[in-house]
Structure 1
Amino acid sequence: MTTTPPASHSTVTTEAALAAALWTVRRNIDVFGDRYPDDTTRDDRYPLRPAAGGFPEGGNRGWTTSFWPGMQWLAWERTGDTAFRDAGLRHAADFARRVRAGEDLETHDLGFLYTLSAVAPWRLLQDENARDAALRAADHLMRRFLEPAGIIQAWGDLSDPAQRGRTIIDSLMNMPLLTWAHEQTRDARFADAVRRHTTQLREHILREDDSTFHTFYWDAETGRPLRGATEQGAHDGSCWARGQAWGIYGFALNFRATGDDELLGAAWRCADYFIAHLPADSIPYWDLVYTDGSDAPRDSSAAAIAACGFLELARVDVDPERAARAQALGETLVAALAADCAPRGPADSDALLLHGVYDLPKDRGVDEGTLWGDYFYLEALTRLADPDWKSYW
């Protein structure tokens, strides 16, 4: 692959955008080595993940570290450059160590963490250590399944009353780890958890107007649905843009896994609401209550996730008109991101995408690059460059 930055985009093609993104991923391997960048940039540069709770600087903690090796696996597939593969394998070994040591596992985001760090190298290389790590993570994730509510609890110690019975829309993206574990083991408990959890989210986290709650609570003892709320949106009744994007992609992936047509319908409901609330330039505000003319920050990561969701819908929807519409919508979002949110020159930032938002109410990562935004942008570019790309999810 090229070792010099490609020209900045004046006319942006998929090929040019992909070349720029791959160059940045390669350079970041030299910058970070086997350590992990933080969740978001600061002034468009990723610092190392700060030391905390006994973890060293650059240590493997939190929910976002796997997006970094996920980008490396995508880059290896596109280029064949063994530097990407070797970096991905070193991270796979570190994630295997993390799950065996029981380090920072009290989260539903084990799906994000182990799909990209371990399932990906298993799918690509049949790496047995990665397979074992992913199965261990799936078993650990199943400890968070709450009867009789039929949900995976999102965060925290299962005995914490503030978190008990709570899930979030992001959880849809953690279900593919359980689907994969079922494929590997034929253990029905994994598939049953996916079916029940996604049904509960379809029925309760998706509102009648097709917007979504960020988070929803069930009574963990009786299973009774309680209330919706937000953690990162503008207010409980608003529609957090990244959450709506998780709904598009997550419901589509779980339709593929289960064949449940109601999940396909849920994905399209989320999609239609998302598109109807986009500004003219197709880069969403961080919450969809904001419209053209607002000075609210945008969230490029929500557009990148939604783009992957549309491109997945284009694959799985058997209706040719809907599939064509989904493909066109995905292409539109990727083109907007490449034109308006990618750095003008790859050396200008460590991020593949600028103008993301992590958590505006807590003033975290506002108008910055995000690891997940970078990953999903590169995945969307990969899907456009290779329509036969085999998903890690």
Structure 2
Amino acid sequence: MPSTNPHADHLLETGREPISHPEQFTALDGLTPALLADAKGRALARLQKGLAIFGDRFPAPSSENGEYPAIDNIEWTNGFWTGQLWLAYEMSGNAVFREAAEKQVQSFAERIDQRIVVDHHDLGFLYSLSCVAAWKITGNTLARSAALKAAECLYERYLPSAEIVQAWGNLNDPEEAGRMIIDCNLNLPLLYWASEETGNQRFRNAANKHIEKAMRYLIRPDASTFHTFFMDVKTGAARKGTTHQGFSDSSCWARGQAWGISGFPLVYRYYRNPQLIAQSARLTNYFLNRLPTDLVCYWDLVFTEGDEPRDSSAAAIAVCGMLELLRHLPLLDPDRQTWQAAAGAIMSQLIKHYAANSEDSGSGLLKHGVYHKPKNIGVDEYCIWGDYFYLEALLRFEQVWESYW
């Protein structure tokens, strides 16, 4: 069981838990070009099906009985749909995907102008994958403007006294004040991008402070992670580590661990602190050592066998994180070959046993995901971020991808 110390103000560890059974990642049939090509074709066909279903609207965060309800641009997850369209355009060159994605830029511009449900930290999920992507791929100036406004909105949630970006809730609410969560690792690149675009260092400085606190308090000494941690907004002192979506405050929520594996090396692109790579490596080994025999994690890493739901979305995020980690890792790192094999083996299992086929209902890409197990929301369903990261992983295996993050 992971450490239960809620105030772990330890010096950052650099030692990794050894990988227990590296041979398990080469025992299964590997990831072949034919398998990747088949997966790509299936995914693109289902995305075209989704375009016909949703039109100018968006899929909900998770499906209901295998079908995504259509929603307006109001959820924290909408960027994952537009991000899939940009990925599909890059994978296929099909202008249908580009036109649909660029049309949605207008919706995101209106959302940030009107401040429609943006009082949270997930602006990176929303605007990096929609508008920053549009700016990088097509030079869309409306997209750039909207993304910069979103970065300003995100910066408003930075609490200088605690040196964190508060996840959600009223900044003056004593019950919510000072909450950071590990998901925010992937929202920080929006601040770094805005700093590079404008030359304004306050965005970068806030992101640097937050990621330092994330490494110090969200990572336990054994390299498992808290989902959420509270800081005292008056004194800056550490308060407590808890969970919001995991099994317990002392367990390790699988998607949270995957956010850490992926987020720390994504931030390393902008902030060259070697501890970001060291900590991602530690989190990776902890994750790999707690996989079931088919290598697709349960929804919480406290479970390694039995009937608990798997979370394919966490597996897809972890694959992208390992591929990002490998880009920044020394060539002679002793775990490098194992991580390469693990990323391929997990992806192979996702393609063969979790990816949707033409006969599956709905338009989702990756079955058997979990949104919020404690609240029984989106359990054993498609999750829109799982679809996104599955597609991002396919593109990462195909080429040296220029990240939207």
With the shorter chain as reference, the TM-score category is over 0.9
Find the aligned partners of 1:122 and 1:235 in 2 and give their Cα distance.
41
Kept in 2, the 8 Å contact 1:118–1:133? The answer is yes
Equivalent residue number for residue 316 of structure 1: 328
Tell me the alpha carbon deviations over residues 300-359 of structure 1, each in whole angstroms, 9 at most, x when there is no partner. 000000000011011111334444433322211111111111124365442100000000
Structure 2 SS opposite 1:119: helix
Equivalent residue number for residue 295 of structure 1: 307
Percentage of pairs with the same residue: 45
Find the aligned partners of 1:207 and 1:214 in 2 and give their Cα distance.
11
Query: Structure 2 residue aligned with 1:27, among 49, 52, 64?
Result: 49
Tell me the alpha carbon deviations over residues 203-251 of structure 1, each in whole angstroms, 9 at most, x when there is no partner. 1100001000000000011110111000000000000000000000001
Structure 2 SS opposite 1:258: coil
Equivalent residue number for residue 24 of structure 2: none
Equivalent residue number for residue 26 of structure 2: none
Structure 1 runs (4+) greater than 6 angstroms displaced: none
Structure 2 SS opposite 1:207: coil
Find the aligned partners of 1:222 and 1:299 in 2 and give their Cα distance.
37
Residue type of the alignment partner of 2:311:
D
Equivalent residue number for residue 137 of structure 2: 124
Q: Gaps spanning 5+ residues in structure 2: where?
A: 1-32
Question: Alpha-carbon deviation of 1:186?
Answer: 1.4
Higher relative contact order (CA 8 A, sep 6+): 2
Find the aligned partners of 1:100 and 1:291 in 2 and give their Cα distance.
45
Equivalent residue number for residue 276 of structure 2: 263
Tell me the alpha carbon deviations over residues 167-188 of structure 1, each in whole angstroms, 9 at most, x when there is no partner. 1000001011011111101111
Equivalent residue number for residue 175 of structure 1: 188
Kept in 1, the 8 Å contact 2:66–2:381? The answer is yes
Find the aligned partners of 1:158 and 1:62 in 2 and give their Cα distance.
20
Kept in 2, the 8 Å contact 1:181–1:190? The answer is yes
Structure 1 SS opposite 2:298: coil
Find the aligned partners of 1:323 and 1:109 in 2 and give their Cα distance.
31
When normalised by structure 1's length, the TM-score is 0.93
Query: Structure 1 residue aligned with 2:356, among 324, 331, 343?
Result: 343
Structure 1 SS opposite 2:180: strand
When normalised by structure 2's length, the TM-score is 0.90
Find the aligned partners of 2:284 and 2:360 in 1 and give their Cα distance.
34
Find the aligned partners of 1:257 and 1:333 in 2 and give their Cα distance.
28
Find the aligned partners of 1:112 and 1:236 in 2 and give their Cα distance.
25
Question: Alpha-carbon deviation of 1:22?
Answer: 0.8
Equivalent residue number for residue 225 of structure 1: 238
Find the aligned partners of 2:208 and 2:84 in 1 and give their Cα distance.
29
Query: Structure 2 residue aligned with 1:77, among 71, 90, 105?
Result: 90
> Are 2:53 and 1:44 aligned?
no
Counterparts of 1:226-245 in structure 2, within 5 Å, are 226-245=239-258
> Are 2:37 and 1:15 aligned?
yes
Structure 2 SS opposite 1:362: coil
> Are 2:345 and 1:332 aligned?
yes
Question: Alpha-carbon deviation of 1:116?
Answer: 0.5
Query: Structure 2 residue aligned with 1:110, among 111, 123, 128?
Result: 123
